[in-house]
Chain A
Amino acid sequence: MPDTVKTALVTGGSRGIGRACAVRLAKSGYQVYVTYVSRPEPARETCRIIEEKGGRAACFPLDIGDSQAIVDFFKEKIKDRVFLDVLVNNAGMTMDGLLVRMGQEQWEKVIRINLSGSFFCLQQAAKIMMRQKTGRIVNITSVTAQSGNPGQANYTASKAGLIGLTKTAALELAPRNITVNAVAPGFIETDMTSGLNQQIREKYLEMIPLKRFGSSGDVAETVAFLASSGASYITGQVIGVNGGMYI
């Protein structure tokens, strides 16, 4: 291995939870690789934040909806180039709508990005981590996968699928000392949730026993813990970071 720097790969690291995870993992000492879909600038900003604090980071364009692009990315940038300690499958999207009005593309695109994209990243990472005989994979799912959420049939199905994937991957990869866990954020203040109107926000607040929305930093702390040596005996779990919203 030419570069033995311990590396964490965070998909969709331009903003929100992905950026917070990238920054937090850098604080834990990992070199952090961040992927973005189309706009390089916010991803570079994530890298700048890390570098300003003395960390190492790089960002790469990667369309998570393109399985061949994922295979190529791992082959060209990861395999035999870095020691891939951590994969955070964070990249995801929403295209909300009531299920009776949901079009095929609306359904399939969200499944393709959130579920299939995470699967192919996990598959590629697993091949590398199996050889290393160590690795940590964290899939970012959602409280809505556990509770359901009107208007998000596609999103909740994709995120619930990720929970099944997490458990099977945990069982298959355990013999190679690779842990696979899911983190299920509740209502987190990000771009994905900032578009909701005041009425809906207040409705959610009533559902959260801790009476506040979470921050992306709350999620990042949990991800960093699952990546740490302290979490070596935890695998196949879904850790809620939701203020008690779903128990």
Chain B
Amino acid sequence: MSVEQKVKEIVMEQLGISADEVKGESKFVEDLGADSLDLTELIMAMEEEFDIEIDDEKAQEILTVQAAIDFIKANQ
């Protein structure tokens, strides 16, 4: 499964939303209704799935689904 697909699956599972809602440009907070705890869980889930570490500073810059995909690709 590609990074894109995995990230989207994580987002769907964590936020309890359907596939057609998750687009690259979707903003976690504004578009997908995530709160701060959701964001933390998303980051934790991605860290685990891709075996990477995302420090808090970087995490704050990951505002969209595409930003998450780009970050993971750059740091894998």
Q: Do residues A176 and B37 form an inter-chain contact, with CB atoms below 8 A? A: yes
Interface assignment of B9: CB less than 8 Å from any CB of chain A = no
CB-defined contacts of A131 to chain B, threshold 8 Å: 41
CB-defined contacts of A175 to chain B, threshold 8 Å: 35, 37
Nearest chain B CB to A124 CB, angstrom units: 12
CB-defined contacts of B41 to chain A, threshold 8 Å: 130-131
Nearest chain B CB to A120 CB, angstrom units: 16
Interface assignment of A172: CB less than 8 Å from any CB of chain B = yes
How big is the B interface, by class? under 10
Q: A131 CA to B44 CA in the complex, in Å?
A: 11
Interface assignment of A127: CB less than 8 Å from any CB of chain B = yes
CB-defined contacts of A176 to chain B, threshold 8 Å: 37
* Residue in B closest to A79 when the chains form the complex, CB atoms: B48
CB-defined contacts of A172 to chain B, threshold 8 Å: 37
CB-defined contacts of B37 to chain A, threshold 8 Å: 130, 172, 175-176
CB-defined contacts of A127 to chain B, threshold 8 Å: 44
CB-defined contacts of B44 to chain A, threshold 8 Å: 127
Binary CB contact string for chain A from 175 to 188 against chain B (1 if under 8 A, 0 otherwise) = 11000000000000
Q: A175 CA to B37 CA in the complex, in Å?
A: 8
Q: A176 CA to B40 CA in the complex, in Å?
A: 12
Nearest chain B CB to A235 CB, angstrom units: 15
Please list the 5 inter-chain residue pairs (A to B) with the smallest Cβ-Cβ separation, ordered nearest first: A175-B37, A130-B41, A176-B37, A127-B44, A175-B35
Beyond A131-B41, A175-B35, A175-B37, 4 additional pairs, beta carbon < 8 A: A127-B44, A130-B37, A172-B37, A176-B37
**A-B contact list, 8 entries, CB within 8 Å:** A127-B44, A130-B37, A130-B41, A131-B41, A172-B37, A175-B35, A175-B37, A176-B37
